[in-house]
Amino acid sequence: MFNYACLNPIAAIGLDRFGAEFAQTADAADAQFILVRSADMHEMPVSDSLLAVGRAGAGVNNIPIEAMAEKGIPVFNSPGANANGVKELVLCGMLLASRDIYGGISWIKENAADPGIGKSAEKAKKAFAGTEIKGKTLGVIGLGAIGAQVASAAIALGMDAVGYDPYLSEEAAKRLDPQITVTTSLDDIYAASDYITIHVPALDSTKGMINADAIARMKDGVIFLNFARDVLVNDADMAAALASGKVRKYVSDFPNAASANMPGAIVLPHLGASTAESEDNCAIMAVDELKAFAQTGSIVNSVNFPKLVVGEQTAKYRLCVSFKGDEPAGLPEGKRLLAKRGDIGYAVIDTDTEPDIASVAAAPGVTKARVIFK
């Protein structure tokens, strides 16, 4: 029997997939598995019993993934499960910025008491005129699950799409809409695009990448959309670009003290994946990942551990070992699979001899060890 804890509400359609072998606990200290959405885990004590963390969503900046890896704890996320929900909101943001819809709605509310509001609106609407997106070019920075869908949707709406992703695999490239132009240079995105949307993780290498220098290389009057993470954009530089007119509109799904008070910005309350469908999809994927890890030792969609898909257990005991550095000496003989991600290693060994789990756990470099019984 395994215990799991939810740090945020998780859709029941996902939790129901755990089955009788899993029980929910209100105390995370008693849990072998934790499910989380937005709760901050950075200051949270980590129990020795914790085996894995499942993020019902894509971003993991609320989870100390490196510290978890050091303790032998894989962190899973749900890439692509919320992609359609975010894609639809990006398209909404693009239309909100192109047409002054928000300004027009606000005018109606402010003048709702006017008995002749219909005629007044006809006179006032010129102030809210905008531009159409058809025939314009959308630049997409990051062609993962969300970026690829946004680019394809833009093409379906009559736009041209240019995409940039230095980590695009050959397999992922084959799945892209053939009408998407792929470039290896951000300058190509900046020079060609009337709209730019960013879909990359918040890493040391990407934080603040949209700064004064990057904005200077963009088209005058560009509309910039950020539905990835607020830290990707330098707020002070974006505010200056809006004030000068270099950037026509900035659409962000991440309110902070700067963006919420930024003239020319349309800021949403982090609604990207806030749909019933996205929450269901993320919960299902996160639970399935944790369940597979618990029952078979397989690791898929971990952000801090190597991928290792294992088949049916072929012996009475399956030893699962997380380690750092070289493969630990003294592991039992048997059918084994091993994978590494940088300095983090993971091994699965099927053996008919019961492992001395205490000795394995105490071996130099081992960060976590457990046995699955057939």
E strand or H helix that includes residue 374: none
Average pLDDT over residues 67-94: 97
E strand or H helix that includes residue 101: helix 101-110
Average pLDDT over residues 56-62: 91
Say what the pLDDT of residue 59 is.
85
Tens of pLDDT, residue by residue over 248-300, are 999 999 999 999 999 999 999 999 989 999 999 999 999 999 999 999 999 99
Q: How far apart are CA 195 and CA 358, in angstroms?
A: 58
What is the sign, positive or negative, of the torsion defined by CA atoms of 225, 228, 232, 236? positive
Share the mean pLDDT of the chain: 96
Q: Is the pLDDT of residue 175 over 90?
A: no
At residue 149 the predicted structure's pLDDT band, cuts being 50, 70 and 90, is very high
Determine contact, residues 287/17, Cβ cutoff 8 Å.
yes
Determine contact, residues 193/139, Cβ cutoff 8 Å.
yes
- The closest of 97, 203, 183, 172 to 139, measured between CA atoms, is 183
Q: What is the pTM of this model?
A: 0.85
What pairing do the DSSP bridges indicate for beta strands 222-226 and 22-24?
A: unpaired
What is the sign, positive or negative, of the torsion defined by CA atoms of 361, 363, 364, 370? negative
What pairing do the DSSP bridges indicate for beta strands 317-324 and 344-351?
A: antiparallel
Q: CB-based contacts of 218: which residues, under 8 Å, 6+ apart?
A: 190, 191, 193, 196, 224, 246, 247
